[in-house]
Amino acid sequence: MPKFNYVALDARGQESVGVIEASTSNDAVGQLRQSGYFPTSVIEEGKGKAVAKSAKAVQKKAKEMSAPKAKKGGIVLFQKKTVKSKTLMIFTRQLATLIDAGLPLLRSLTVLAKQEKDPVLQNTINALADAVQGGSTFSESMAQHPLIFNKLYINMVKAGELGGVLELVLNRLAEFQEKAQKVKNKVISAMAYPVIVLIIAMLIMVFLMAFIVPKFQAIFNDMLSGAPLPPITRYVINVSEVIQKMFIPPYLWYTIGSVTALVVGWKAMSSSAGGRRFMDRVTLATPLFGDLLRKSAISRFSRTLGTLVTSGVPILQALNITRDTAGNVVIAEAVSKVHDAVKEGESIVQPLEASGVFPPMVISMVDVGEETGQLPEMLLKIAEVYDDEVDNAVEGLTSLLEPIMIVVLALIVGTFVIALFMPLIEIIKKMGGHNG
């Protein structure tokens, strides 16, 4: 009976190479599938070169699939290379569900690629499937797409592959992404309300200053015959004149230059280490929003580190990933000090406490988790607690911002009303005196 060299994948996506006896290649494929394998190459013994050639062809195809595709007849100048976090979250949950249901990894990727609507993610999934079929592990395939999958994602998948619990790790990763997205949405919704109100208030103010105040100014000049105006009215008219000049050359160019300089300065400051550190410290110390952002950062830190360690990622590697994905330089520096302390065999409590970012409750819970050997579980518990803290902070901030915004808008409108109607009262008195 002929012998066949085969390359196949098991349910976890791990490559298996061996020899099987069968009457035909189709029988060999059937035997492998009955054993729970997904054959990627079945070649009759003595044709090893064909196997190698086939593997190289698969790898070449994977690279072609991962490269951005240009439309026919044109060149794409701004090719989208990233995927929204929500889209990636849905992909992770679907992949975890399919693998948990017993589908092989390669089959799961093929199914998801066919139904994916995002073209970037669809091409990426196809590239992952081809790379896995070519003999690469799932984590190695993901590492070829750093703009889509970050270090946290790749290392968790790698830990799942090494431990033989890929479906469990994918479920944890999906839960991590869902909870992180939920916290992020709450923070954004809490900050969106005052930003929108302030933008509308500024637009209204610019409109009044540019179009309404000049008309009142002309009325005052005609009716009051050069009589002195109230201080508040003179102030509003002066501001109106400045705003009008901002949109007329040559002052228009000064305005554009100033805005450009501010944007460039902001970008330069946020891209430098010192500037970013200063901005993050100011952000955490900001009234009203600072407490919300601090709680969100602590929740992110606890969930990231807890999920990584629970999934089997070594503690030092987990700390490095947590530092890189912290999203706040102050938190990242604290995690870096924790990494150095753990590397020297010391406790992680002292550097956390020295950072001044983490509240006593978090430090106490970490200390207890470290003493009892249940640090990952305690970190995840801290994340749950601070998820609730974020919920409460959002509700409190929303209820507090509503009256503050009303008062701010009332002050703006009241200032205009008083500034414009005080001279009108003088005009009415003057007209009344003439009639008398």
201-215 residue pLDDT tens: 888 888 888 888 888
Residue 362 pLDDT > 80, yes or no? yes
Q: What is the pLDDT of residue 56?
A: 46
Alpha helices (H) in 35-150, listed in sequence order: 48-66, 85-100, 105-115, 119-133, 138-143
Among the four given CATH numbers 1.20.81.30, 1.10.8.60, 3.10.180.10, 1.10.150.20, the one describing domain 85-165 = 1.20.81.30
* Dist. CA 413–CA 160, nearest whole Å: 60
Residue 434 pLDDT level (bands cut at 50, 70, 90):
low
Those residues with Cβ within 8 angstroms of residue 327's Cβ, 6 or more apart along the chain or in another chain: 297, 300
Beta-bridge mates of residue 254 = none
The residue type at 50: A
| Model pLDDT, residue 49 | 45
Judged against a pLDDT cut of 50, whether residue 236 lies above it is answered with: yes
- Mean of the per-residue pLDDT values of the chain: 81
Q: Which residues contact 227 (CB under 8 A, 6 or more apart)?
A: 426
Q: Does domain 166-436 have CATH number 2.60.120.200?
A: no
Average pLDDT over residues 178-199: 82
pLDDT in tens, 149-168: 888 888 888 888 887 788 88
- Whether pLDDT at 111 is above 50: yes
pLDDT at 53: 46
Confidence check: pLDDT of 346 > 60: yes
Q: Model pTM greater than 0.75?
A: no
Count CB atoms within 10 A of the CB of residue 308.
Answer: 29
Other Cβ atoms closer than 10 A to 355:
17
* End-to-end CA, the chain: 126
Domains 85-165 and 166-436 share a fold: yes
Whether pLDDT at 366 is above 50:
yes
Domain segments of the chain as ranges: 3-56, 85-165, 166-436
**For residues 121 and 87, is the Cβ–Cβ distance under 8 A?**
yes
Instruction: Report the 10 Å Cβ neighbour count for 424.
Output: 14
- The helix or strand, by DSSP H or E, that contains position 295, with its residue range, turns out to be helix 289-310
- Say whether pLDDT at 59 is over 70: no
> Cβ(86)–Cβ(53) under 8 Å?
no
- Assess whether pLDDT exceeds 90 at residue 261: yes
Q: Which two tokens stand for residue 391?
A: 């919920």
Higher pLDDT, 2 or 125: 125
Lowest mean per-residue pLDDT among 16-20, 97-101, 316-320: 16-20
**Torsions phi, psi of 230, nearest 5?**
-60, 150
- The answer to whether 154 and 139 are in contact (CB under 8 A) is yes
Q: Please report which confidence band the pLDDT of residue 381 belongs to, taking 50, 70 and 90 as the band edges.
A: very high
Reported as a pLDDT band with limits 50, 70 and 90, residue 48 is very low
Q: Is the pLDDT of residue 435 over 60?
A: no
Helices (H) and strands (E) in the chain, counts: 18, 3
